[in-house]
Structure 1
Amino acid sequence: MTIRLNREANREVNSEAVTDVTKNRPRLWVSETRQSLSQELHNRPSVQMATCSTVSHIAVRINQDQRGKEFQQLCTLCARYNAPPPELDACCYYQHFTGFEIRWERHLEFSSYTFIRKGVSEALFDSFAIEFVPQQWFDSLVGELVSAVNLVLSDEPFSDTSLFQAFENYQVFGSTVASGRANVFTSFRVHSDGFSRVYIQSSALNTYQAGRLVQRLLEIETYQMMALLSLPIAKALSADVAQIEQRLVAINQSMASTKDADDGEMLSALSHLANQTEQILADISYRFSATDAYYELVCSRITQLKEQELNHKERLSEFVTRRLGPGVKTCQALTRRLDALTCRIERASGLLRTRVDLSIEQQNQKLLAAINRRGEVQLRLQQIVEGVSIVAIVYYSMSLLDYVLNALASVDLALDKTLVKGISVPVLLLSTWLAMRLLLRAIKKHTH
Structure 2
Amino acid sequence: MLRDHPERYETANELHARPFPALRTRSEAAFLAIKRAHDAANRDRAADRAHLIALLDRFGADHPKPDATHYFGALGRHRLKWESHTEFVTYTIFSDTLSERPFDGAIFEAFPRDWLDDAPGLRLSSILLRVEPEGADIPARLHDWFEGESLAVSRIVDGAAVIAGDFRIDARGHARFAIFTAPDLGERRIGRIVQQLCEIETYKTMSMLALPRARALGARLTGIDGELSALVGELRSVERTSDATLEQLLAIGSDLETMLARATFRFGATEAYSALVEQRIEVLREARFGGRQTFAEFMMRRFDPAMRTCRSVERRMEALAERARRAGDLLSTRVSVEREMQNGRLLRSMDERAAMQLRLQKTVEGLSVVAIGYYAVNLVTYLAYPFGARFGLSKEWLAALAVVPVLVAVWWVVHRIRAMAD
TM-score, normalization by structure 1: 0.85
Q: Kindly state the Cα deviation for residue 267 of structure 1 after the two structures are TM-superposed.
A: 1.5
For 1:55 and 1:253, locate their aligned partners in 2 and report how far apart those are by CA, in whole Å: 61
For 1:167 and 1:409, locate their aligned partners in 2 and report how far apart those are by CA, in whole Å: 141
| Structure 1 residues 247 and 168, CA gap change in structure 2 (3 angstroms) | closer
| Structure 1 residues 377 and 133, CA gap change in structure 2 (3 angstroms) | closer
Q: Deviations over 1:230-271 (max 9, x none)?
A: 1111112222221212222232333344515x3321221111
| AA partner of residue 146 (structure 2) | F
Q: Map 1:74-89 onto structure 2 (within 5 A).
A: 74-89=52-67
Q: Kindly state the Cα deviation for residue 331 of structure 1 after the two structures are TM-superposed.
A: 1.3
Match of 2:192 among 184, 187, 212: 212
Q: Map 1:35-50 onto structure 2 (within 5 A).
A: 35-50=9-24
Task: Confirm whether residue 114 of structure 1 aligns to residue 92 of structure 2.
Answer: yes
Match of 1:190, SS state, is coil
Q: Deviations over 1:258-298 (max 9, x none)?
A: 515x3321221111111111111111111111111100111
Work out whether residues 134 and 162 of structure 2, in 8 Å CA contact, stay in contact via their aligned partners in 1: no
| AA partner of residue 46 (structure 1) | F
Q: Map 1:100-111 onto structure 2 (within 5 A).
A: 100-111=78-89
Task: Confirm whether residue 320 of structure 1 aligns to residue 299 of structure 2.
Answer: yes
Q: Kindly state the Cα deviation for residue 317 of structure 1 after the two structures are TM-superposed.
A: 0.4
For 1:112 and 1:434, locate their aligned partners in 2 and report how far apart those are by CA, in whole Å: 104
Match of 1:160, SS state, is helix
Q: Kindly state the Cα deviation for residue 57 of structure 1 after the two structures are TM-superposed.
A: 0.7
For 2:329 and 2:147, locate their aligned partners in 1 and report how far apart those are by CA, in whole Å: 60
For 2:244 and 2:109, locate their aligned partners in 1 and report how far apart those are by CA, in whole Å: 66
Match of 1:88, SS state, is coil
| AA partner of residue 382 (structure 2) | Y
Match of 2:3 among 28, 38, 44: 28
The equivalent of 2:114 in structure 1 is 136
Match of 2:261, SS state, is helix
Structure 2 residue runs of 5 or longer lacking an equivalent are: none
For 1:395 and 1:266, locate their aligned partners in 2 and report how far apart those are by CA, in whole Å: 64
Match of 2:35 among 41, 54, 61: 61
Work out whether residues 20 and 195 of structure 2, in 8 Å CA contact, stay in contact via their aligned partners in 1: yes
Match of 1:73 among 51, 55, 64: 51
For 2:379 and 2:76, locate their aligned partners in 1 and report how far apart those are by CA, in whole Å: 134
The equivalent of 1:252 in structure 2 is 232
Q: Deviations over 1:325-367 (max 9, x none)?
A: 1111111111111111112222223223322332232222222
Task: Confirm whether residue 295 of structure 1 aligns to residue 274 of structure 2.
Answer: yes
Match of 1:305, SS state, is coil
Q: Deviations over 1:24-79 (max 9, x none)?
A: xx252542x44443343332222222233211111111365543343233222222
| Structure 1 residues 408 and 307, CA gap change in structure 2 (3 angstroms) | same
Q: Could you say which structure has the larger radius of gyration?
A: 1
The percent of aligned pairs where both chains have the same amino acid is 32
Q: Deviations over 1:144-202 (max 9, x none)?
A: 11111111222232331221102266642111111222211111111223211111112
| AA partner of residue 245 (structure 2) | M
Q: How many residues align?
A: 416
| Structure 1 residues 434 and 310, CA gap change in structure 2 (3 angstroms) | same
Match of 1:311, SS state, is coil
| Structure 1 residues 342 and 171, CA gap change in structure 2 (3 angstroms) | closer
Worse-matched range after superposition: 279-288 or 386-395: 386-395
Q: Map 1:172-251 onto structure 2 (within 5 A).
A: 172-203=151-182, 204-251=184-231
Q: Map 1:92-171 onto structure 2 (within 5 A).
A: 92-122=70-100, 124-125=102-103, 129-157=107-135, 158-167=137-146, 171=150
| Structure 1 residues 245 and 413, CA gap change in structure 2 (3 angstroms) | same
For 1:97 and 1:270, locate their aligned partners in 2 and report how far apart those are by CA, in whole Å: 60
Match of 2:288, SS state, is coil
For 2:56 and 2:78, locate their aligned partners in 1 and report how far apart those are by CA, in whole Å: 12
The equivalent of 2:411 in structure 1 is 433
Work out whether residues 147 and 166 of structure 2, in 8 Å CA contact, stay in contact via their aligned partners in 1: no
Match of 1:108, SS state, is coil
Q: Map 1:405-444 onto structure 2 (within 5 A).
A: 405-410=384-389, 412=390, 424-444=402-422
| Structure 1 residues 36 and 441, CA gap change in structure 2 (3 angstroms) | farther
Superposed CA RMSD in Å reads: 2.5
For 2:194 and 2:260, locate their aligned partners in 1 and report how far apart those are by CA, in whole Å: 37
